[in-house]
A and B are shown apart, each in its own frame.
Chain A
Amino acid sequence: MTNFWSKLSIKQKLAITAWFFLAVPLVFYVTIRFYPTFEAFYVSTLKWNLLGVKKAIGLKNYVKIFADEDFWLVLWNTTKYALVGVPISMIIAFVIAYWLNEIKFGHNLIRAMYFIPFLTTAVAMAWVWRWFYQPLPIGYFNILLSWIGIPQQPFLKSVTQGLYSIMAPAVWAGLGFQIVIFIAGIRAIPRSYFEAAEIDGAGRWQILREITLPAMKPTIIFLTVISTIGFLRIFDQVYTMTADSAGGPLNSTKPLVLMIYEFAFDEFKIGRASALTVILFLILLMVSLMQLWLMRKHK
């Protein structure tokens, strides 16, 4: 044995060590994660109401989904959540994290203030936000608007504003998470980088662009991918804030995961829900891989 081990090249030794480290986790992932995922792939070809017999129907579930005009609306809604939600939340989070990192007085207090929304339960917060969105004279947002002379807005009761009115609390709740990761990322940059730059007499903007941002690339990649997945999987806020948890008015705020949920547990069409899950899975995988690949290229 020792003999065999000593014959291996360093590279081979490292590879074996790596697989050794991965062994237990891989067993876990295969049984607890991958297997149920494959199960979903399989069930997507069945007609099954969870309670009765399973009937193989080939790709019929997919055909039905693609023929359903609601699906395309829901897909577009989901895209909007991500396309608007990700950049807005990341930019706000970065600006706050960057400046928060500069201050020392009351730093912990202020950071906690930004993080607390992340700790709260969606259902309780949804209630508060729904009150904020009420019309005059009750709703605070409309009161604020009336102070600056803007006419009252319907917010949740509108097919055009509803989606953004739900996105706002989603951004709000996730901001603390992004800020904490950004700060951890900033703090992970070795001090020496900055010292060197300061000696060279670089300005703040230059340091940000040439040192901070490039050094934070792994953090930025991580947050982009995770936030995109998060917004594409948005559910809680829509479920708790829309009437009858239906993603209304008129499906204008309904995301894919809510549609999956409705198929699975309101109508017990497990096959259709699985097919939709597979579609969501493929979209997420494609988007994530593309992001990872694009950001890697700019190295």
Chain B
Amino acid sequence: MKWLKSAFTLVVSGTSLLWSGLVHAVEIEYWQYTYASRVEAVDKLIQNFEAANPDITVKHTHFPYADYRKKVAIAVSAGDGPDVVQLYYGWLNDYRDGGLIQPLSSSAFPHANIEKDFFPMVGTMKVNGEYWGLPTAVRSLALFWNKDMFSEAGLSGPPETLDEFVDYAKKLTKTDANGNYLSVGFAVDTDGQDHHWWREVLIRLYGGAPYSDDGKTVTYTSEAGAQALKFLTDFETTHKVGSNGFMNRGQDAFAAGKAGMVLDGSFRISKFVKQEGLNFAISELPGHNGKRYNFSSYWVNGITSKAADEKKEAAEKFLQYLTSDEAMQLWLDTVGELPAKPAVALVDANKDHPLYGPFIRGLSYANATAFVSEKPQRQSLIDAYDMVVLQGVDPASALAKVAKSEQEVFNEFFE
């Protein structure tokens, strides 16, 4: 059978080669990072796209995530590389600044439509009156909780408020006679998603904002910022319900059944589902004083500045398809990332999905941080946390210190 299949493929590819030669095919190149389900999804999308546009072929290349960013930057800056590229939204500034990607033409991507169709956090992609990239999928955070540990602790459902959250974490924590953790109530993990939680959720829940509206000034040195940091560090110092780095990573502690709760994104679902014997559920992030917030991030598809004329046209067509409703649903079904348009995401089947539902519901009140440089900005919280927990600095002074260096990052970028 195998030979038949390959013979068939040969004939088909031969014919299509011939065909493409006849109609003068345009070839464009698409880059993303290697991950089995993402590769599979893009392959399917390309297949559909090519069937609908026989005069365009799309070459799909992918690289290990570990150094995808470096690879893209070096290749693109040398004038090599793709016509359409997938980038983390937080990197956009570098690429825009470097003149490596071009703005999306308003004829192919009318602004009114983008603003009408996409979730509001996609607005981060609009700089200087132009859109520079569009996502197929977006992500948000949710609370993963271990059902078995919950029922063992006599808890029936997930915490709805921050106060309940702390209370539940205490009940879920188990220690040995010497006070060493056997399992933690909440897996604090500043290396994971907790810095997003602090920045975009906790600070806002306490009535503050992490940055000024124009995104040029650090504003978390407020009372709210300190309260939010204290809320996070208290798990380790006061409540003693968890320890940053317990079992190396929060996700590992949770996967091992040694953490009652952890915060994570929808990309983690597949890992936990695979884990035999782990009986978990997902719910929306706890709120405070009747308010809820969430953090959203996404990868966008941009058109590089090297795409011109017919290639640019082809790239636009492909990007239109990548951001179509059809592509978004396919992406959700294959990769498990959430559709970037409310019209696709918020249909009942998705909204009430037992696994994706809480993430999708979270999107409607999510913010995306307009990072100017993600790594050093992420480091601010990690350092502030360590100052409080390891050195006993009080939250406000710790924040004052890291805010100073983060502000320098802003100043340098905007000067």
Which residues of A come within 8 Å of B, CB atoms?
49-52, 127, 130-131, 134-138, 152, 156-159, 243-244, 246, 248-251, 262, 265-268
Interchain residue pairs with CB less than 8 A apart (5): A131-B248, A157-B390, A246-B379, A250-B383, A267-B376
B373 touches A266 (CB 8 A): yes
Asked if A51 meets B95 with Cβ closer than 8 Å, knowing A127-B248, A243-B245, A265-B69, the reply is: yes
A137 touches B180 (CB 8 A): yes
* Stretch in contact with the other chain, from B10-18, B70-78, B108-116, B208-216: B70-78
User: Which of B178, B378, B390 contacts A250 (CB under 8 A)?
Assistant: B390
Sorted from nearest, which 3 A-B pairs have the closest CB atoms? A51-B98, A266-B375, A52-B98
State how many angstroms separate the Cβ of A132 from the closest Cβ of chain B.
Answer: 11
A248 touches B383 (CB 8 A): yes
Asked if A138 meets B73 with Cβ closer than 8 Å, knowing A49-B97, A51-B97, A244-B378, the reply is: no
Query: Does any Cβ of A come within 8 Å of B391's Cβ?
Result: yes
- On chain B, the number of residues with a Cβ less than 8 Å from chain A's Cβ atoms is 38
A47 to B383: give the CA distance in the assembly, Å. Answer: 27
A158 to B245: give the CA distance in the assembly, Å. Answer: 12
State how many angstroms separate the Cβ of A259 from the closest Cβ of chain B.
Answer: 12
A262 to B70: give the CA distance in the assembly, Å. Answer: 11
State how many angstroms separate the Cβ of A266 from the closest Cβ of chain B.
Answer: 4
A152 to B99: give the CA distance in the assembly, Å. Answer: 53
State how many angstroms separate the Cβ of A156 from the closest Cβ of chain B.
Answer: 7
**Extra inter-chain contacts (11) besides given A262-B375, A266-B373, A266-B376, CB under 8 Å:** A49-B98, A50-B98, A136-B176, A136-B178, A156-B245, A159-B390, A243-B245, A244-B190, A249-B390, A250-B383, A265-B70
A residues near B379, Cβ cutoff 8 Å = 244, 246
State how many angstroms separate the Cβ of A12 from the closest Cβ of chain B.
Answer: 46
State how many angstroms separate the Cβ of B251 from the closest Cβ of chain A.
Answer: 13
B residues near A246, Cβ cutoff 8 Å = 379, 382
User: Which of B99, B190, B378 contacts A51 (CB under 8 A)?
Assistant: B99
B residues near A134, Cβ cutoff 8 Å = 246-248
B residues near A131, Cβ cutoff 8 Å = 248
User: Which of B77, B176, B391 contacts A137 (CB under 8 A)?
Assistant: B176
**Which A residue sits closest to B72, measured CB to CB?**
A51
